[in-house]
Amino acid sequence: MIKPKIENLEQLRSEIAILKLKKAEDEIYFNQSFQKVKNVVETPTRWFNNVLSFLGLNSESEKGKVKADWITSVGRIALPFLLNKTVLRGRGFFVRALVSLISQKSINSKNFNKNVLSHWVDNLTEWIESSVKDKKKSKNIDYGIPPESETY
C-alpha cells in the first residue's frame, strides 16, 4: 500500500475516515467468508441432528417443546400398536415401520393430551346418554289404562 503524503490536518482526518471505511468493508467481507465456511463445515452435523430429532433420539430438540403428559406418552405407544393390529394387518415391514413412525410423530402434547381426551370422552358419553334417553322415551308407551288401576 502506498502511503499518501499528509501535509495538513484535513488530509489526516480524511485518511482516517478512508481507513475506517476500508476496515469496516474488510470486516464484513471476512465475516461473510467465515459464515460460508462455517455453514459448509456444519452441514453434515446439522443434517445428522435433524435426522436424530425426527426419530426422537435427540434430546436437544425437546428444549422448546411442551412437556408431554402420560396420556400423550401412552398414545405414542398405543396408536402404532393399534394400527399394526387392525389397519396395517398383512402389510409389509417397511410400510408398518413408516406408518408407526409417522403416527408417533403426529401425537404431540399440543393435539393429544388429558384435556383433549377428556373432551372426546365427554362428547361420547353425551352422545350415548342422548341415544339411551331416546330409546327410553320410545319404550314408555301409554295404553290409556294405568297398570295399578281397578278395572273390575
Asked if residue 132 and residue 78 are part of one domain, the reply reads yes
What is the reported pLDDT for 61?
Answer: 47
User: Using an 8 Å Cβ cutoff, are 83 and 99 in contact?
Assistant: yes
Centre a 10 Å sphere on the Cβ of residue 62 and count the other Cβ atoms it contains. Answer: 12
Asked if residue 20 and residue 45 are part of one domain, the reply reads yes
Range of the domain at 82: 67-138
CA–CA distance, 150 with 45 (Å, rounded to integer): 92
Residue found by looking up cell 400423550 in the block:
72
Asked if residue 132 and residue 102 are part of one domain, the reply reads yes
Angstrom CA distances, 103 to 44, 96, 123, 130, 152, stand at 27, 10, 24, 33, 70
| In a domain? residue 61 | no
Encoded amino acid at 109, one letter? S
What is the reported pLDDT for 38?
Answer: 93
Asked if residue 71 and residue 129 are part of one domain, the reply reads yes
Residue found by looking up cell 295404553 in the block:
143
Which residues of the chain fall below pLDDT 50?
Answer: 61, 64
What is the reported pLDDT for 140?
Answer: 60
What is the reported pLDDT for 19?
Answer: 94
Asked if residue 80 and residue 51 are part of one domain, the reply reads no
DSSP code of 144?
A: S
CA–CA distance, 65 with 114 (Å, rounded to integer): 17
Alpha helices in the chain (DSSP H): 9-55, 70-85, 93-106, 114-139
Which of 32, 50, 54, 53 is closest to 42 using CA atoms? 50
CA–CA distance, 82 with 99 (Å, rounded to integer): 11
Assessment of whether the complete model's pTM goes beyond 0.85: no
What is the reported pLDDT for 51?
Answer: 78
